[in-house]
Amino acid sequence: MIWVAATLIAALAQTGRNAAQAGLSGRIGTIGATAVRFVFGLPFALIVLLLLAPVMPVPPVGPQTLAFTAMGAAAQIAATVFMLLTMRGQGFGIATALLKTEPVSLAIIGALVLAEPLGPARLGAIALATLGVMLASGARWSRAGLRPILTGVTAGGLFGLSAIGFRGALLTMPAGGFFIHALTVLVLTLAMQSAVMLLWLGLADRASLRGIVTEWRVSLAAGALGAFASLFWFIGFALTPAANVRTLALVEVVFAQAVSGRVLREKTGRMQRAGMALIVIGVGWLLAVTVQRP
């Protein structure tokens, strides 16, 4: 059950990265802040890989690994674009709930692409936890427009496709330790994404590129947290189907609601409490199914 600990660590680190990126968005633009996680995360991941190479030999990378990694990297960039479109056109609660449909997409795509088992119990647990997110978000669905719903579901599907790409890349690697495999795929992913984002910024948004350089201190922090979070996401993907990882990560919604209630003194409605209960039940059900049949 190492994947459980890895997923929880990744979710916490991602929260810190999101906070750092949120501060950057207002100063260097949304695209610039998005690029930070790749461009400034790559040096940290590469340094760790080079330091560990003498004691953990880097596994060979074949065409299949590169193809799956490229698929995951490209899908993640596209998903980020659709996520930004959703958040621009809709409230935070609705956007968050739509993006959290990812585990359902993951389970279906994983069954089709990687032939991973998708029994009724596992799918039921994922669907229950996802429904919990819908309720816990506090979103007013009567106000949701068709376009934000489409972009939000598309973003969730693309994030699911990216996770399948990373999972597929890890499965194509030769026998060896899951940690060095995860780190190797992470370096490949960040290198591909950094190249694409730098090329785009250089051609279409040089103001954001200059802003990244100006805000290098905060960018370094965001990049380090992003690389740290991604490493543990990849460790989880190396050990269990990606749908399990992303479903467990939904407990982040419960943590966020708890913090908002205790720290920010925000009220939690009856529907939101019911949603959080469904998340906990769904995640617990998934863990039970996974323990019985990995």
Residue 87 predicted with pLDDT over 90: no
Q: Which residue has the higher pLDDT, 166 or 247?
A: 166
pLDDT for position 128: 86
283 pLDDT higher than 50: yes
Whether 266 shows a pLDDT value over 60: the answer reads: no
* Contact in structure between 103 and 247 (CB atoms under 8 Å): yes
Q: C-alpha angle 263/3/93, rounded to 5°? A: 40
pTM for the whole thing?
0.81
> Is the pLDDT score of 215 beyond 90?
no
202 vs 118 pLDDT, higher one: 202
So what's the pLDDT on residue 172? 94
Task: Round to whole Å and give the CA distance between 196 and 192.
Answer: 6
The arithmetic mean of pLDDT across residues 8-32, rounded, is 75
CB atoms within 10 A of CB 67: 14
Percent of the chain with pLDDT over 70: 78
Q: How confident is the model at residue 165 (pLDDT cuts 50, 70, 90)?
A: very high
Q: Tell me how crowded residue 1 is: count the other CB atoms within 10 A of its CB.
A: 11
pLDDT-based confidence at residue 62 (cuts at 50, 70, 90): very high
Task: Give the Cβ contact number of residue 168 at 10 Å.
Answer: 22
Instruction: For 136-153, write each residue's pLDDT tens digit.
Output: 666 555 555 666 677 777
